[in-house]
Structure 1
Amino acid sequence: MIKKITSIFLLALLISCSSDNTEPTNSFNVKQLRVDIINSVEAPVVADFSESITQLNNSIITFANTVNEQNLNLLKEAWKQAAANYSLIEVLNIGDIKDSFIQTAFYSWSANESAIESYIASTNEISKEAFNSVATNTRGLSAIEFLIYEKSVAETLEDFKNTRRLKYLKTLGENLEEKITTYTSLWDNFKDTFIENNATGINGGVNQVVNSMYALLEDVKSFKIGQPAGIEKTTAVDATLLQAEKSSYSLFLIEQNLEGIKKLYFGDENGLDDYVFSITNTQELNNRIEAQFETLNTILLKLKTTSLKEALVNEKEEVTNLYNAVRDLLVLLKSDVASTLSVIITVTDNDGD
């Protein structure tokens, strides 16, 4: 009888310890964390982005109907809002959204200026359908920025007397409206899958989120700061490599990227910080992450008196400090957060050193 009881106990122990590639049962509700990511992060930022794309398209229509300086200025403000809201959703490039590559359809920078001008000068069809097959850096937010910010106000208004140029702009807005419908549908269909995804490993929900945070930080470090500043790849400063260089909005979009990452980490009701605490039983790592965000905010405040384009030349030390602070946050995420949460970082870094 004792042998039989012992055998049953050992069998139960083996079953409970077996690897089923699902999240371990503990006091922290990881599924609720995924619910909160959807409700507190995804839902509001996607709604705001969708609204700003609609507003951008409406502003394009208003400008196309009456081409004047007032409507051009309103269009520029609508562009800035859409670009800012895009920068908040950029960190949510996971699962079906990532697989669809739809984020590049919204914003692929820098714009291919010569290709845009060639298309306008050609007899090629200008339509939503035709634009779906052209390169992403000839449409989307980067193309709109080029068309409305490249030249002076007077020159821009004069250029838009060209009916094909105006039609190109109008079709860019229509294309974005079409893409935002697809984007919100993707999220509507994916959010339940994300919430129910209790797998560990590279396909797990938390793993996807941490990897997306890491990937965006890599892009910020390398493509949005390091390479334009001559810190990575080359020692030459090249402001044309900046995101949103023509609108001088580069720094604010970086700030929005970092805000999106911070929101995802600290959450509202639940965040990754709560998950970390449930494992470590200490706030030490979370405090280091928070301190690093505060360091970044301090540097960004110092740089706010100028554009990043000007800072590359006139504030080189502060730009380097910004680069280093982003790199340090990357290290914390990769070495400490990922290790604590048993996350596998599958993104390769872009470091040119």
Structure 2
Amino acid sequence: MFRRFLLLFVSIVIISACSSSEETATIATDNFDRSALLVNIADNIIIPAYEDFSNKMSALKTAGEIFTTTPNQTNLNTLRASWFVAYKTWQQIEVFNIGKAEEIQFSFYMNIYPLTVKDVEDNIANGSYDLNSVNNQDAQGFPALDYLLYGVADTDATILEKYTSAANKENYKKYITAVLNQMNTLTASVTKDFKAQRNTFVNNTSNTLTGSVNELINDYIFYFEKRVRAGKFGIPAGIFSSNPLPEKVEGFYKNDISKELSLQALTAVKNLFEGKYYATATTGVSFKAYLIKLNRADIATSISSQFEAAEAEINKLNNSFSIQINLDNTAMTKSYDELQKAVVLLKVDMLQTFNVSVDYVDADGD
């Protein structure tokens, strides 16, 4: 009898263990239409944004070709303007670190800052480099162009000399071309892949760790927390260091665009939460609608309000965050604080309501 009792006990333990394992693999579901959410995000936000960015990158590449063929002030101005337009549009798509973008580390090749100037200058001096190498991620993309168009010398006249009369002028022009070719190739690959995988993305509606909604929400919050809150504000303001680091702001060499870029990024975050179609006022199924469906309109309203509060604080800042930090860093930390309040609402309140687990590890002590 004791052996039968022991067998029964072991069986119960095994069944219990299996059940626990299954529960950790599959998360509880609700009756929200996740497919409608994914269709709206894919068809009305991600794909149009990718297509717009692809067009802006093509225009930037063309402007680069014209400048490297005929480097003069007019063509420099045109290239600079095209770079800034594309850079602002980049802020609208960096949040979508999914599919091919995640696989190839798209954002690491497009917008790692601060730039390692020594790597750029060494590449130019050598005339030979591999921009596909992870060792060159901090020597290309938008930050490299920021340096090449604004930071290689102190005045426009001396900048132009780098491309017209300097001993290694051909290598400087070659590097601009190589950076632009790399950016366009990666953009085309990411855009093509997402379009090809669109159906897989919208049909993966399971509430599991690998479901499209779960992965997208985690990537969304990670981007807002680490790339916007920390990258654009916290790190240069010295939140994670003993002193402010103004040289680590985005757009350091042009030096009057860091606020605009951060506002563009915040707009992308807000619009995705609201389900707003790309570049229009129309809205569709969204994270906000999901919260409301689950009877948490209070959280939805709080998130929208906090985004507005953060935007209002950012609008008080100097166009140049490096200047702002040097003049009054407290204003930068206030913007960071408002963004942090939104992080808590998204990462704690919203995720708990959706019954979605965080799939990344914190490393900045927040």
Amino acid at match of 1:309: S
Check if 1:155 corresponds to 2:161.
no
What is the match of residue 227 of structure 1? 235
**Number of residue-to-residue matches in the alignment:** 328
State the AA in 2 paired with 1:245.
Answer: F
Q: CA deviation at 1:32?
A: 0.6
Identity of aligned residues (%): 25
Q: Which residue of 1 aligns with 2:288?
A: 273
Cα distance in structure 1, aligned partners of 2:57 and 2:313: 30
Deviation at 1:352, TM superposition (A): 4.2
Query: In structure 1, how many angstroms separate the alpha carbons of the residues matched to 2:241 and 2:199?
Result: 41
2:205/2:212 contact within 8 Å kept = yes
Residue 201 (str. 1) matches residue 208 (str. 2)? yes
Measured after TM superposition, the shift of residue 123 of structure 1 is 4.4
Q: Which residue of 2 aligns with 1:170?
A: 177
Q: Which residue of 2 aligns with 1:140?
A: 141
Q: Quick check: 2:258–2:319 contact (8 Å CA) kept in 1? A: no
- 1:112-163 Cα shifts (integer Å, max 9, x gaps): 21111112112426xxxx4333612222222111111103211110111211
- The structure 2 residue matched to 1:309, chosen from 307, 322, 325, is 322
Correspondence 1:51 to 2:52: no
Task: Tell me, yes or no, if structure 1 residue 292 matches structure 2 residue 297.
Answer: no
Q: 1:124 to 1:95 in 2, by over 3 A?
A: closer
Task: Indicate whether 1:347 and 2:360 are aligned.
Answer: yes
Indicate the SS of the match to 1:176.
helix
1:37 and 2:26 equivalent?
no
Structure 1 counterpart of 2:11: none
Task: Give the secondary-structure state (helix, strand or coil) at the position aligned to 2:360.
Answer: coil
Query: Contact conserved, 2:244 with 2:325, CA < 8 A, in 1?
Result: yes
Tell me the C-alpha RMSD between the 2 structures: 1.9
For 1:227 and 1:245, locate their aligned partners in 2 and report how far apart those are by CA, in whole Å: 14
Deviation sequence 1:56-105 (CA, Å, 0-9, x none): 11111111122111211111111111111111111111244312312222
Q: Tell me if the contact between 1:22 and 1:198 (Cα under 8 Å) persists in the aligned partners.
A: no
Correspondences of 1:84-123 after superposition (within 5 Å): 84-123=88-127
1:221 corresponds to which letter in structure 2? R
Shift of 1:23: 7.3
Q: TM-score, normalised by structure 2?
A: 0.84
Provide the C-alpha distance between the structure 1 equivalents of 2:53 and 2:28, rounded to a whole number of angstroms. 32
Contact 2:119 2:136 in 1 (8 A): no
Q: Which runs of 5+ in 1 are unaligned?
A: 1-17
Judge conservation of contact 2:238–2:244 (CA < 8 Å) in 1: yes
One-letter code of the match for 2:110?
Answer: F
Q: Secondary structure at the match of 1:198?
A: coil
1:6 is aligned to none
Conserved 8 A contact 2:99-2:194: no
Q: Secondary structure at the match of 2:315?
A: helix
- The alpha-carbon deviation at position 189 of structure 1 amounts to 2.3
Quick one: which of 83, 86, 100 aligns to 1:79?
83
Query: Comparing 82-91 with 171-180, which one deviates more in the overlay?
Result: 171-180
SS at the partner of 2:294? Answer: helix
